[in-house]
Every structure is written in structure tokens, then in C-alpha cells.
Amino acid sequence: MVSNDQAAWWQFRGHAVHGLCAGDDPAQNPQVKERPALLLVHGFGASTDHWRHNIPVLAQTHEVHAVDLLGFGRSAKPAALSYGGALWRDQLVAYVQERIGRPTVIAGNSLGGFAALAAGAALGDQAAGVVLLNAAGPFSDEQTASPGGWGAIARRTIGSALLKSPVLQRLLFENLRRPATIRRTLRQVYIDKTNVDDWLVESIRRPSLDPGAFGVFRTVFDIPRGQPLDELFAHLQAPLLLLWGIRDPWINAAGRRSSFQRHAPENTTEVVLDAGHCPHDEVPDQVNRALLDWLAARVGENTLDPQPAR
């Protein structure tokens, strides 16, 4: 068994990418080899650490990977990169092809959900499934509306004019990475605050101290919209699971769910949870169970019964 905190460093386009690999080696365990690998993708400002309550459980039955997107976590934060969905899509596609090398279910939260869907569509039959947890990204019929995602949240909160000032951006960044601000923000988006603990706060604060972190932060307000979700759905060949934290205060979860229902492929599975923006960390036992049940039903595995994380 590989420890769930064993780093799996990798290079993408010459930049260091941090990841984790956990679970039995499929080359040594034929039962694991028959199941798809899992790749977990964090949201904006988070990292592989945000899957702390999921990896130990899922790794009991699967080969599990988690990766820090470029610009986040322990991965490199180079100033010259054009951050956005295309970069992160290509990073995930390359990770599956080069590091995993077999069919993979990609699960992503928020911004990571958009990247996971884009990668799943691009991978074709190399994607064994896609799981979206309160995913970001626009639909075609929203393209003329106000942009969504993290930039829109910031604009509503702060104002577009202020965000154009490098000095004010720096002041905002310094405030947002204060432990008290991180904790307050997390408590706004978790309905059950139990898991908003010192460890989680520090896991978000630590990467913000990296030299390139401010440069990445400045780009978030100008990240391209990326390909519309409905176009990505049209290209997706793999089964799709939508996991909703339906009380998400950062998005209109009920309205967004309706949009997904209009555009998602037939036979998409939905699970609605009484949680906020990050259900995988707020109600991890429910998310782990839903994911494993879906794998058993949709990806053709035998019923799995791992032990809860806590």
C-alpha cells in the first residue's frame, strides 16, 4: 500500500507539478487493475490537501491520484503561464496519459470541476468517468451574461474598478491570505463548520506564501471563460456524476443544477447533498459513499465497502 501522503512529482511543460498517489499498485493487485484509477482535482486556492478525508477511503479499493494544478498548492507558479481552463485541461490529460496510463475517473470541485470535465472530454475513451462537485464554468446561453466563477464573486464583493489597481490587488491578496480571513471565508461556504479547522486553514495559507502566488492571484480576474460546458458535455463519452452541495452560498446551486439538467448527457447521475461549496470536505463520508456507489453502478464494478475515514 502506498502512503496517501507520498508525493508523486512530475514535470509538465518544464514546470514542477505536485501530486499524490495512494492505493495498491495495479501491477501487483489484479483486482485494482480491473478498476479505473481515480484522479482528484481541487478548486481555486486549494490543493491536494483538500481531499484529506477522501483519499484514505477511496484508496482502500482504487489506485487514487490527486494533483495540484499549476499555480496552486505545491506546484510551480511561473509568471509567464497563461492560466485558465486550457492549461489545466492539458495538464490533466498529460497526467492521465503519462503518470496513470490507463482509464481514469476524474473528479473535480469548483474550478477543478471545469478542468476535470474539459480533460474528460479531451481524453475520449481514456476517461472512465467524470465527477463534478459544484463545478464552475459557463454554458453557451450564459456567454453574454455577466461572467461567472471566482472573478464574478470578487467583482460583486469588491468592485471591478478596484481590481484593476495593482496596489489594491496586493492589499487584497495580503488580506485574503491572513489565517483569520481564510477561516472566515471557509465558514461562509461550509454549512457544517466542523471541518473548518486549523489544518485546513494552514493548507490554504501555506501555498499563498510562495513567491509566484500573488502573480497567479492577479490572473484569476482575467481567466478566459473557456469552452462552454454544453460543448464539453457534447464531446464527453464517459459516464457523468454530478454531486451537488445544494446550499452552496457562492453559486445559485438550485439554478445551476437546472442548467446542468438541461445540458448534461442522458443517463447522467445526480446526488444532492445538504452541504455548501466543498461537499467532499464538508460531508466526506457522504461523498465517498456516493462516488463508490456510482462506480459500482455505472462503471461496472463490484459493490465496494471501504471503511469510513473517521
Residues 14-39: tens digit of each pLDDT? 999 999 999 877 666 767 777 899 99
Domain for residue 165, yes or no?
no
* CA torsion angle 252 205 168 70 (round to 10): -80
Tell me, what's the pLDDT at 142? 76
Q: Which residue range forms the structural domain that includes residue 18?
A: 10-145+224-298
Residues ≥6 apart with Cβ < 8 Å to 162 = 168, 172
- Is 310 within the bounds of a domain? no
In the chain the first and final C-alpha atoms are separated, in Å, by 19
CB 51 within 8 A of CB 66: yes
**Rounded distance, CA 40 to CA 110, Å?**
12
What pLDDT is recorded for position 66? 98
Can you give the pLDDT at residue 5? 47
pLDDT at 154: 47
Paired residues of 20 in beta bridges: 7, 66
Place of cell 489545466: 88
Nearest to 112 by CA among 75, 159, 157: 75
Is residue 69 classed exposed, middle or buried when 0-12, 13-18 and 19+ CB atoms within 10 A define those classes?
Answer: buried
Residue 265 in any domain: the answer is yes
- For the chain, the three-class secondary structure string (H helix, E strand, C coil) is CECCCCECCEEECCEEECEEEEECCCCCCHHHHCCCEEEEECCCCCCHHHHCCCHHHHCCCCCEEEECCCCCCCCCCCCCCCCCHHHHHHHHHHHHHHHHCCCEEEEEECHHHHHHHHHHHHHHHHEEEEEEECCCCCCHHHCCCCCCHHHHHHHHHHCHHHHCCHHHHHHHHHHHCCHHHHHHHHHHHCCCHHHCCHHHHHHHHHHHHCCCHHHHHHHHHHCCCCCCHHHHHHHCCCCEEEEEECCCCCCCHHHHHHHHHHHCCCCCEEEEECCCCCHHHHCHHHHHHHHHHHHHHHCCCCCCCCCCCC
Q: Do the domain assignments include residue 133? A: yes
- Structural domain total, the chain: 1
Task: Give me the residues of the chain with pLDDT under 50, please.
Answer: 1-5, 145-150, 153-159, 301-304, 310
| Residue 35 within a domain | yes
In a domain, 1, yes or no: no
The tens digit of pLDDT for each residue in 169-199 reads: 888 899 999 999 999 999 999 999 999 999 9
CA atoms within 13 A on the CB side of 51: 32
Is residue 191 one of the residues assigned to a domain?
A: no
**Which residues, in sequence order, are bridge partners of residue 11?**
16
The CATH number that applies at residue 283 is: 3.40.50.1820
Residues in a beta bridge with 242: 132, 270
C-alpha cell at 181: 480571513
Amino acid identity at 178: R
Which residues have C-beta within 8 Å of that of residue 35, sequence separation ≥ 6?
61, 62, 63, 295, 299, 301
Asked if 21 and 63 touch (Cβ cutoff 8 Å), the reply is yes
Inter-CA distances, 31 with 23, 61, 104, 123, Å: 12, 9, 15, 24
Query: Does 164 map to a domain?
Result: no
